[in-house]
Amino acid sequence: MEALRDAFSWNKGYKEYFAVKATPNPFLINILREYDCGCDCSSYTELMLSEAIGAKGPDIMFSSNDTPAEEFVYADKLGAIINLDDFTHIDFLEKTIGHIPETISCRYNPGGLFKISNDIMDNPGDSKYGMTTDQLFEAFKVLKQKGAKEFGIHAFLASNTVTNDYYPMLAKVLFEIAVKLQKETGVHIKFINLSGGIGIPYNPDQEPNDIRAIGDGVRRVYEEVLVPAGMGDLEIYTELGRYMMGPYGCLVTKAIHEKHTHKEYIGVDACAVNLMRPAMYGAYHHITVMGKEEAPCDHKYDVTGSLCENNDKFAIDRMLPEIEKGDLLVIHDTGAHGFSMGYNYNGKLKSAEILLKEDGSVQLIRRAETPADYFATFDCFDIGKKLTK
């Protein structure tokens, strides 16, 4: 967090809104709030969590899509900055909460492909998020007419980028549209929210991002585009989750079975319930066998969980040291979008979370789920009373 804050210290209004969705644990978010981090929320329960730890007003950015009315009501009650995903949400918001907030943001999607040099980073044109250019201009005009006084622009055009060029390129797109918007609509644009997208090197062979180079790249574009347009007071916000927490969490699991058929399998006591990314995306997570860090990686394994799904694999054809039953495997970089994406398929229960402190001590920051938790939504029925005893 200190490195991120330093990288953007040139901007007086800079603020990081941690993406609660990445790691929704109050103990961890409170550590970030010691550095004046806000909360980026996208649901009712994320708003609840943020309120419970003391975040309120402009400390909360509510960036949602396909948003239920009650979530807009709650966000407005908390005084959160509301970031509208779609043009039609303007009328929906006004009818729902009875007014248009004085400070409001809109999410922008320019469409097409987002490229850096000749590399395609992502395809915003296929994304469900954000407004088109024409919709954004019309939205600002309508919102101004309805009483909005301070405006923000938000965009998320690529995910998990491992390049120092993504944020500066995104910033240039948003800065240029901001200059045109302010000139043509007469609104005052208070902030640009670069959202997330800065990734981490899941593979140890990857070169990590240099956050200071990224911040400096954004500064150069800021001075090139905004300052000459008289917009040198514009604040920069970020909504990083993966970059903030990803490298600092691990899933520790035990080898409990081995299987020798058409392939060599190691079965562990965790599954996709605990870490869904490999099953959903085919994502790579590095694995260390504890006590065998220096041993040769001369055995090829599929490392699997116990779900009744063949994609429940943490690694496929991975070269690792010889693994024996009882060995502990550390699956790296699970601190963001790991536990939070978990679910309860097959009735599997989610694990505890432990915080390792600087002095080597540990603290339980979430207990493991129990069968009573799994059956809790049946507690209003007779069968539920039996199951939740």
* C-alpha closest to that of 206 among 164, 240, 244: 164
SS (H, E, C) 186-208: CCEEEEEECCCCECCCCCCCCCC
Tokens found for residue 23: 């790691």
| Rounded percentage of the chain residues whose pLDDT exceeds 70 | 98
The Cα–Cα gap between 32 and 39 comes to: 10
Minimum mean pLDDT among 28-32, 46-50, 110-114: which range? 110-114
Beta carbons of 114 and 174 less than 8 angstroms apart: no
Beta carbons of 43 and 50 less than 8 angstroms apart: no
Instruction: Show the CA angle centred on residue 131, arms to residues 125 and 133, nearest 5°.
Output: 85
| 2-245: CATH, from 1.10.10.60, 2.60.120.330, 3.40.50.10860, 3.20.20.10 | 3.20.20.10
Instruction: Measure CA 301 to chain center.
Output: 30
pLDDT (tens digit per residue) in 31-44: 999 999 999 999 99
- pLDDT of 119 reads 64
HSE at residue 83, side-chain half, CA atoms within 13 A, is 29
* C-alpha closest to that of 234 among 268, 274, 194, 282: 194
Instruction: Show the CA angle centred on residue 14, arms to residues 12 and 16, nearest 5°.
Output: 160
| Mean of per-residue pLDDT scores for the chain | 95
Rounded mean pLDDT of 187-193?
Answer: 97
Minimum mean pLDDT among 117-126, 193-202, 256-265, 280-289: which range? 117-126
The Cα–Cα gap between 169 and 175 comes to: 10
The Cα–Cα gap between 382 and 385 comes to: 5
Domain residue spans of the chain:
2-245, 249-351
pLDDT of 252 higher than 90: yes
Helical pair 211-221 and 166-185, crossing angle rounded to 10 deg: 30
HSE at residue 332, side-chain half, CA atoms within 13 A, is 13
> In Å, how far are 263, 267, 277, 288 from 292, measured between CA atoms?
22, 18, 25, 8
CATH level 2 (architecture), domain 249-351 = Beta Barrel (2.40)
Q: Which pTM was predicted?
A: 0.94
Beta carbons of 164 and 211 less than 8 angstroms apart: no
C-beta neighbour count of 225 within 10 angstroms: 18
Determine whether 308 is an active site residue: yes
C-beta neighbour count of 19 within 10 angstroms: 28
Q: Identify the active-site residue in 39, 106, 297, 308.
A: 308
The Cα–Cα gap between 66 and 82 comes to: 13
DSSP type of residue 245: H
pLDDT (tens digit per residue) in 292-336: 999 999 999 999 999 999 999 999 999 999 999 999 999 999 999
pLDDT band, residue 120 (cuts 50/70/90): low
Tokens found for residue 185: 């609509």
Beta carbons of 41 and 50 less than 8 angstroms apart: yes
- pLDDT of 127 reads 87
Enumerate the β-bridge partners of residue 116: 119
Minimum mean pLDDT among 89-98, 105-114, 192-201, 243-252: which range? 105-114
- pLDDT of 112 reads 82
Beta carbons of 25 and 353 less than 8 angstroms apart: yes
pLDDT of 82 higher than 70: yes
4-16 residues labelled b (16+ CB within 10 A) or e (exposed): bbebbeebeebbb
* C-alpha closest to that of 24 among 3, 6, 42, 1: 42
The Cα–Cα gap between 207 and 246 comes to: 15
User: Who's near 23: CB < 8 A, 6+ residues apart?
Assistant: 29, 241, 245, 249, 335, 336, 338, 339, 340
